[in-house]
Amino acid sequence: MRLENGLRARLVGVFGLVVFWELLALILRVPALPGPARALVAFLEAIAGGLSYHFLISAYRVVLSIAGSFLLAVPLGLFLGREETFDRFLTPVIYLLYPIPKIVFLPVVMILLGLGDIAKIFLISLVLFFQILITTRDAARGINLALIHSVVSLGAGKWDLYRHVIWPAALPEILTSLRIASGTAIAVLFFSETIASQEGLGYYLLDAWTRYAYDQMFAGIMAMGFLGFGLYLALEWAERKLCAWKYL
């Protein structure tokens, strides 16, 4: 019943967005804002005409970036959250680097790593790394000390502590940070694919824009929205499976 209510609420939300889009298109009546029906037709035509290739390229880059940043940031964040000595030395460095918009490093990254997938994946991973790292560290740091002491009193070693206490306790916040980071990843992906690129949704959007092909441009926007929506649903599904106690 709860799942059905959630699905119904999402459908109502999508319907409301479509209605708002249609009304806005009717009011403005400009070529740059086609209505949802026209944009959907353009999207279906674009899928058959090559948009699917750009979608798969972008999806590959984003998924690999999220996976890479997760594998690097989560262990380090859990470690820093529980090891105060190391955290004291690394925190100033993290706080210094985190506020810098990583997109400014795009020219440098492309000079060093080239114009291919590696540079784009590295840049997206760099942005996501700090978001996931800080959230993971704070989650690990906020675990109740009484829980830690009770497990240690039962003879648990440090590895057991990380595996059976710290990791499960921090997991919900880690997955929340991943859902937030997925939106950031799409934004950085767009910028990285609009510079010296000939594939990906960012390139597809910019190319359609420069040709004043607004139908195709909105097809690209819809594809990017579907990519972000798919990532979000996948991460939400993972949270329901890995953190089932939250939904009891």
Among 161, 169, 164, 165, which residue's Cα sits nearest to residue 138?
169
- Exposed/middle/buried for residue 62 (C-beta within 10 Å: 0-12, 13-18, 19+): buried
SS3 at position 98: coil
Residue in 146, 105, 154, 160 with CA at minimum distance from that of residue 127: 105
Per-residue tokens: 99:
């506020």
What is the C-alpha to C-alpha distance for residues 71 and 144, in angstroms, rounded to an integer? 25
* Between 57 and 240, residue with greater pLDDT: 57
Domain ranges in the chain? Answer: 1-30, 35-247
Owner of token pair 């060093």: 112
Superfamily of domain 35-247: MetI-like (1.10.3720.10)
> What tokens does 202 get?
């960012």
pLDDT of residue 6: 59
d(CA 207, CA 210): 5
The stretch 198-217 carries a mean pLDDT of: 87
Contacts of 20 (CB under 8 A, 6+ apart): none
Residue type for position 149 = H
19-31: average pLDDT: 86
Res 74 pLDDT > 90 = yes
Least confident of 4-13, 68-77, 109-118, 179-188: 4-13
Inform me whether the pLDDT recorded for 7 exceeds 70.
no
Query: Are 213 and 198 a contacting pair, CB within 8 Å?
Result: no
Mean pLDDT of 29-44: 84
Distances (CA, A) of 108 to 64, 94, 114, 118, 122: 21, 20, 9, 13, 12
Coil, strand, or helix at residue 243? coil
Please report how the helices 167-193 and 201-210 are oriented relative to each other, as an axis angle in degrees rounded to 10.
30
Report how far residue 197's alpha carbon sits from residue 139's, in angstroms, rounded to the nearest whole number. Answer: 38
Q: What is the pLDDT of residue 55?
A: 92
- Closest-CA residue to 176 (of 225, 235, 227): 235
Q: Give Cα 105 distance to the centre of its chain.
A: 19
pTM strictly above 0.95: no
Looking at per-residue pLDDT, the higher value among 196 and 213 belongs to 213
Residue 44: is its pLDDT beyond 70? Answer: yes
What is the distance of C-alpha 3 from the center of its chain? Answer: 24
Does the pLDDT of residue 18 top 90, yes or no?
A: no
